[in-house]
Amino acid sequence: MSTPLAVANIAANLARLQDRIATAAARAGRSAESVHVVAVSKYQPAAAIAAAVAAGQRRFGENTVQDALSKIPHFAGQGLEWHFIGHLQANKARHIPGNFTWLHSLDSLRLAERVARFAVDAQTIVNALIEVNVARDPHRHGVLPEQVPELLDQVVAAGLSGLMLRGLMAIGPHPASEMEIRSAFAAVRKLQESCVARHALPAFTELSMGMSGDFEPAILEGSTLVRVGTAIFGERPYPVA
């Protein structure tokens, strides 16, 4: 559970984060408003999320369905935007529409079809990002860069009315130098541009890249959504098994 001091620090942490984002965006010749923070609230208590909301934060990212569903109802009616950023098993796809407006980890046609079907049932639309395993790490999820065009073709051809393709998501290589990180994120940006050219997708504009340790190089390479947890909430209070 977050201590009162930790909760009090969240507003200050968010202010420092926004200053760093503004600096990185200026270096890239971009406006700070072109970068949105998704506060990663995995395992954070409701009090910590409420402190972030009080400080003006509106976008929150969750990694597990079970943890998210225990918290989202507490903030109903507050205009928050919930992003599912973890690996999603197809058998849990029904929990996304109605709870989350964004899915950052689309990695198969089967998952796209299931999320879309449940979204139609719920009379809503889920914004989806294809997860790219740009680091080619066998321990990570996502599709390899060269597999993205095929998955994109499949999803577009399926004509899924409950799903809107919005861009790409990637986790940068680690450990890696800043040059290596920027190179990986630049590759994802170029891949996103090629996807737009391939299918003329006007809404395929988002790049979810960068976390607490590498959001600045991600912004320099075009990230529009940075997924930040530790820099806002401090070290994550993992649950006791």
| 50-105 pLDDT per residue, tens | 999 999 999 999 999 999 999 999 999 999 999 999 999 999 999 999 999 999 99
Instruction: Quickly list H helices, 28-165.
Output: 46-54, 65-69, 109-121, 148-158
What gap in Å lies between CA 183 and CA 2, rounded to an integer?
37
pLDDT digit string, tens, across residues 140-178: 999 999 999 999 999 999 999 999 999 999 999 999 999
**Of 115, 176, 112, 119, which Cα lies nearest the Cα of 143?**
112
Q: Are 99 and 75 in contact (CB under 8 A)?
A: no
> What is residue 3's predicted lDDT score, i.e. its pLDDT?
59
Residue/partner pairs of 197-204 with CB below 8 Å, 24 or more apart:
198/149, 198/152, 198/153, 199/152, 199/153, 199/156, 201/156, 201/165, 203/164, 203/165, 203/166, 204/165, 204/166, 204/167
- For 140, residues 6+ apart whose C-beta sits below 8 A from its C-beta are 133, 171
Q: Write the DSSP symbol of residue 32.
A: G
Q: How far is CA 207 from the centre of its chain?
A: 9
Question: pTM (2 decimals)?
Answer: 0.95
CB of 174 closer than 8 Å to CB of 217: no
Domains (range + CATH), the chain: 4-233 (3.20.20.10)
User: pLDDT tens across 20-52, in order?
Assistant: 999 999 999 999 999 999 999 999 999 999 999
